[in-house]
Each structure stands twice: as C-alpha cells, then as structure tokens.
Amino acid sequence: DTAVSQTPKYLVTQMGNDKSIKCEQNLGHDTMYWYKQDSKKFLKIMFSYNNKELIINETVPNRFSPKSPDKAHLNLHINSLELGDSAVYFCASSQVSRQGVSGYTFGSGTRLTVV
Amino acid sequence: SQQGEEDPQALSIQEGENATMNCSYKTSINNLQWYRQNSGRGLVHLILIRSNEREKHSGRLRVTLDTSKKSSSLLITASRAADTASYFCATVPSGANNLFFGTGTRLTVIP
C-alpha cells in the first residue's frame, strides 16, 4: 500500500564505494524527485524527472546520477562516496497538470552514513 | 537562492494553544505548500495554496498567503501533543515544477 517506497532505509558504507538507492511509486504520478536533507534539516532538490525531461540541480556533483527504468521508478546511483555525502535522501513524486504541480508524496527516507 | 525562511525556528506551546508559523520567500510563485515532518520520518503534505488564493482551511489548519509581501502563515488551532513535529513551507516558483523548501519550524506541544 506504500505510495512511495525507497530502499534501503539505512545505508552505512565506506568512502570510495559506489551505492544505489531505489525508489518506486504506485500513485501513477508523472514526475519523481530526489531531495537531500542535511544535518540541519535543510532540504535541497537534487533531481526532478518525468518521462520527458531530467532536470539536474547544478550544485549536485556528477558522482550522483538518477536512473529511471520506467515512470514508476527513479533510482539514485552514487559513485566514489565521500564523507560529505552523509545525509538523509528522500524520494518524492507528484503530478503536473495545467494548474501546476500537486502536493508531493515523499518516501520515508534513506539515511546514508559514509565512514 | 530560492529557499524560503521560516520564523520562528523553534516554537514551544502548551497543548490546547494555537501555533502560528510564518514563511517568507523570494520569487513569484505558482503555489505554496506546507509539510510536516515527524522526527526520523518522511515529509507529509498538509495543504497547498495557489498564488491567486489568500486563505485556505483544512481541519485545524489555516493557511494564509500574501503574495505582495511574499509571505505565508500556518496556524494550527487547539494544538495536540501529536502535532509535535517540524513544519516546512515550500514554494513552486512561477514556470517551474520543483518545490523549494524553507528552513523549517520545530514545534513542540507540551501535554
């Protein structure tokens, strides 16, 4: 029944490793997103993606890459992990209409700790 | 930066009192949204107000929007201990589809 599900919930890994976080939504939304929440609770958008367009926040290092096999999935791949990548990563989805974007539905987050 | 700011950063009230949180933003918007985040959890969408609306209600929540001042407020009436959480405002800039979040207000409701 979970609308937006992301796995894993916790991820502890060493510097330099490559890891992936998976996200799936069953709401039929056409747009998905990845957000990063730092230790001060600031939420920053990393990517937004629908089946037409990928928009990348220019401040996101190119070690981060989204991959979308279909409109219900948006996975996040991170190469060469660094200590500063430690944060909580949230996946979200929404529907874009002529009136604009709807409220977002968020996953429960993935707490990434790089050691 | 398109990130908004919220005021106060932290608010502590007694159960039954009203809680008011304010949000200021910088750009013209399509809509503004409020979210709640319980500790260690994801964000939950509370309410969306469009740029041509001035006030909206949902249960114990009342949101106002003043586009001339680029500000919004969230009022929670008759607060409960279960309302303890962080509250974020987020804006969708005109012509964009992405949400940009404010800095959040940490609300504590004391039983």
What residues does each domain of chain B span?
5-104
Distance from CA of A104 to the nearest CA of B (A): 7
pLDDT at B1: 53
Q: What average pLDDT does the structure give for chain A?
A: 92
Split into its structural domains, chain A has a count of 1
Instruction: Reply yes or no on whether the pLDDT at B2 is more than 70.
Output: no
**Contact call for residues A36 and A85 (beta carbons, < 8 A):** no
- Say whether pLDDT at A85 is over 90: yes
Among chain A residues, the shortest Cα distance to B89 is held by A43
| Residue pLDDT, tens place only, B17-50 | 999 999 999 999 999 999 999 998 899 999 999 9
Provide DSSP, chain A.
--SEEEE-SEEEE-TT--EEEEEEE-S--SEEEEEEE-TT--EEEEEEEESS-EEE-TTS-TTEEEE-SSTTB-EEEE-S--GGG-EEEEEEEE-EETTEE---EE---EEEEE-
Q: Which of A22-26, A51-55, B83-87 has the lowest mean pLDDT?
A: A51-55
What value does the mean pLDDT take over residues A35-60? 87
- Which class is B5-104 in CATH? mainly beta
> Given a cut of 80, is residue A58 above it in pLDDT?
no
pLDDT for the residue A96: 83
Q: Which domain holds residue A45?
A: 4-114
Interface of A with B in 82-101 (CB under 8 A): 90, 92, 94, 96, 99-101
B61-69 own/partner pairs: CB under 8 Å, 24+ apart:
B61/B34, B63/B32, B63/B34, B65/B32, B67/B28, B67/B29, B69/B24
- CA–CA gap between residue B85 and residue A35 (Å, rounded): 19
For range A54-75, the mean pLDDT: 88
Eight-class DSSP state of B83: G
